[in-house]
Amino acid sequence: MTNPQAPGHSDQPLVAAYDTALLDLDGVVYAGPAAIEHAVDSLDAARAAGMRLAYVTNNASRPPRVVAEHLTELGVPAAATDVINSAQAAARLVAEKVPAGSKVLVIGGAGLVEALAERGLVAVESLADGPAAVVQGFDPSVGWERLAEAAYAVASGLPWVASNTDMSIPTARGVAPGNGTLVAAVRAATGAEPEVAGKPLPPMHRETVLRTGAKRPLVVGDRLDTDIEGAYNGGVDSLLVFTGVSTPAEVLAARVEHRPTYLAADLRGLLEAHPAVTATADGGFDCRGRSARVVDGELRVSGAGGAQADRYDGLRALCAAAWAELDRSGEPVDGRKALAELGF
């Protein structure tokens, strides 16, 4: 069930209901150099249950083999072929625009350079080298001089492809500026718009399907505006985990394209069945004894829940009530008090 009007349910653990997990990395599996709590054990168990694990990231800075090595060091065994990044999707887009063997101005890191080489394209660093296109992706080393070179090239009329436009990226120290902020600088200088390859847009989903061969994929991410919208655009189900960027309050206000199929605290959600949300006679919604409805323009939550209930059952019920009201009125409803009562 994609794009639900209420959170979806699965009688089976998700590892049994889907053949492949398409996992975001930053904010889902790790934050900076360290694994997120429960990620390693959960992925181990998912792999043992027969689920294929593929790692799909908008971060174009590192080649897949480097990402795979990092994952393996963290205790998540991975090969380069298990990692799909926005650099690969961007390189495919560029290759469709320019002749084979063309030079391409790279504003980014080794991930873009290797992805272009895979497509038979040659990375260069200056407009003076005669590039046929510009490709831009995140790398922490990108500074003013590189952004200026991009602006000169884009202003000259060259095709411009951006790996992604995420405005932020989770790090071990907190949330930092992402590639979207770097793209915005070039946009402001030139007035041009890049073609974007990464999540949530179709080129990234196409790249992922081509490389994994997934038949029943589940997108797993921490961001509504990239991971969950990307699943929506691809017509596949999604699991949102709250270990990265998006918050429960943002989920309550989510419009259709940002609504996850499933909700979980972390990657342990892959190993669980997900309970159903049902409509109640008073116009509200219930999930295993946790009930939610809109009263006087405000979300209310009630019920202690059954033996298996947890605060995420309350959040599921709140989402159903909030989304129904948003679809009816066009305006988000205040859920701050209800979320606080659930401990969010």
What residues act catalytically?
Answer: 24, 26
Cα separation of the two ends of the chain = 26
Q: ∠ at Cα 81 (232, 67), nearest 5°?
A: 85
Q: How many helices (H) and strands (E) does the chain have?
A: 12, 19
Q: CA quadruple 262, 268, 274, 280: dihedral positive or negative?
A: negative
- Yes or no: say if 116 and 88 are a contact pair by the CB < 8 Å rule: no
Residue 108 — φ and ψ, nearest 5°? 165, -155
Query: Distance between CA 318 and CA 138 in Å, rounded?
Result: 36
Pairing of the two strands 133-136 and 122-124: unpaired
Which residues pair with residue 94 across a beta bridge?
none
Strands 278-279 vs 285-287: parallel, antiparallel or unpaired: antiparallel
Rounded-to-integer distance, Cα 219 and Cα 239, Å: 6
Element (H, E) at 136: strand 133-136
Locate 15 and state its tokens.
């590892």
